[in-house]
Amino acid sequence: MKKEDTVKLISAEGFEFVIDKEAAMVSQTIRNMLTSPGSFAETQHGEVTFPEISTTILEKICQYFYWSLQYARGKETEFHIEPELTLELMMAANYLHT
């Protein structure tokens, strides 16, 4: 994988998730960060830090990104959300416009 094709998402605890740029673009917020011209540090380094999002939630978010891509391509599987994650995941998804 070329470095330009991936992004690094960093959780509140400092965990790093390297995922395809295409997957990360499922989030409207990340898309804006990566595509807006100019000064965003995120654009240059391909790194985004989320001090508000815990590792567990960010992992789930990344899973969702890939599930969403597959779903869009016609693979109709279910995306299971554990009830204990719903509130935090909801808030993260809201922030990420996902």
Partner 1 sequence: MENECELVRMCIEAACESRESVDTWRRQRRSLERLPSHLADALLRRLHRRRLLFPALLEVFKYSVEVIDLRNENSVNEEWMAYIGAFRYLRSLNVSTCRRINNSALWALTGMTSLMELDLSRCTKVTDAGVKHLLSISTLQRLHISETGLTANGVALLSSLTNLSVLDLGGLPVTDQALSSLQVLTKLQYLDLWGTKISNKGATILQGFPKLSFLNLAWTNVTNVPYMSSLECLNLSNCSINDLLLEGDVGYKAPLAKLQFSGSTFVKEEETFLNIETSFLIYLDVSNSSLNRFCFLAHMESLEHLDLSSCMMGDDSVELVACIGAKLRDLNLSKTRVSSAGVGILAGHVPNLENLSLSLTAIDDVAISYISMMPSLRVIDLSKNNIKGLIQQVDTATNSLTALQSLRYLERLNLEQTQVRDAALRPLSNFQNLRHISLRSASLTDISLYQMSSLSILTNISIRDAVLTNLALDLFRPPATLKVLDLRGCWLLTEDVISLFCKRHPHIEVRHEFAHVFPVQNSCNGPSPSGISSRTSPLNKKPWKMPVSQSFVDQRLKYSKEDLLVLRYSPLSLAYPHDAEIVRTELQ
- The region of 3-11, 17-25, 40-48, 81-89 touching partner 1 under the rule CB under 8 A is 81-89
Residue of 5, 15, 28, 70 that binds partner 1 (CB under 8 A): 28
Q: How far, in Å, CA of 89 to CA of 56, rounded?
A: 9
Backbone dihedral region of 51: left (phi > 0), alpha (psi from -120 to 50 degrees) or beta? alpha
94 binds partner 1 (CB under 8 A): yes
32 binds partner 1 (CB under 8 A): no
93 binds partner 1 (CB under 8 A): yes
